[in-house]
Amino acid sequence: MKKLTCHCGGIEIEVNVPDPFVKVIRCNCSLCKRRGTIMTMVGPDDLKIIKGKELLKLYQFHTKTAKHYFCSNC
């Protein structure tokens, strides 16, 4: 398990990711392309929100296929 936080520390999550990552993905949406983001995917059983669930805000655009969650404080 890896422990991660947002920039302000208001959100803490634990995520179980294979080491090394099984598959790294480059999203082609405008948001990820602008930020140069790469990512991997984990199932719901491999992600646990430890702190700050109430701070998570959902952002979706265009086809609303992807769900992007951000800290509302950061």
In the chain, the domains with their CATH numbers are 2-71 (2.170.150.70)
Checking DSSP bridges between strand 47-51 and strand 12-15, what pairing results, if any? antiparallel
Q: Is the pTM of this model over 0.85?
A: no
Residues 8-55: tens digit of each pLDDT? 999 999 999 877 767 888 888 888 888 888 888 888 999 999 999 999
| Predicted local confidence at residue 35, as pLDDT | 86
| Predicted local confidence at residue 46, as pLDDT | 93
CA distance 63 to 73: 26
CB atoms within 10 A of CB 29: 14
| Predicted local confidence at residue 72, as pLDDT | 97
CA distance readout (Å), 24 to 5, 14, 19, 49:
20, 19, 12, 22
